Amino acid sequence: MVSKQPLDSKRIWIKRAAYLALATGVLVGMPLVLVVIADLTGVIHFSEIFGPLVWWNELSGPSFVVAFFAILLIVAVIIYFLAKMFDTSQGAW
């Protein structure tokens, strides 16, 4: 009789590699998301409008809040993928 243990072990490692690749992809894609947010909110053109000085106003404040929550969401997605990477069906204990 053939044991299914090696096949299950390979499947688990393939899932782990896939979740690690997803977490890495999200981490690498985070600057792109932030650039899109900056472009949509107009912060990319902030230095052209106001010069090199940075201060909080009606343009930079909401953009900062949106980008901050986007970073929190992206970090949560990365943590989710890392947690799923080590998830087992038998339980932790």
Summarize pLDDT for 32-83 with one digit per residue, the tens.
Answer: 999 999 899 888 887 777 777 767 777 678 888 999 999 999 999 999 999 9
Average pLDDT over residues 9-33: 92
The reply to whether 46 falls in a domain is yes
The reply to whether 4 falls in a domain is no
Question: Structurally, how many domains does the chain consist of?
Answer: 1
Using the predicted structure, report yes or no on whether residue 3 has a pLDDT greater than 60. no
Using the predicted structure, report yes or no on whether residue 13 has a pLDDT greater than 70. yes
The reply to whether 81 falls in a domain is yes
- Cα separations (Å) of 51 from 26, 32, 54, 55, 63? 32, 24, 8, 11, 17
Region for residue 87 given its phi and psi (left: phi exceeds 0; alpha: psi -120 to 50; beta: otherwise): beta
Per-residue model confidence (pLDDT) at position 81: 93
The reply to whether 10 falls in a domain is no
The reply to whether 76 falls in a domain is yes
The reply to whether 27 falls in a domain is yes
Determine the structural domain holding residue 49 and report its residue range. Answer: 20-85
The reply to whether 12 falls in a domain is no
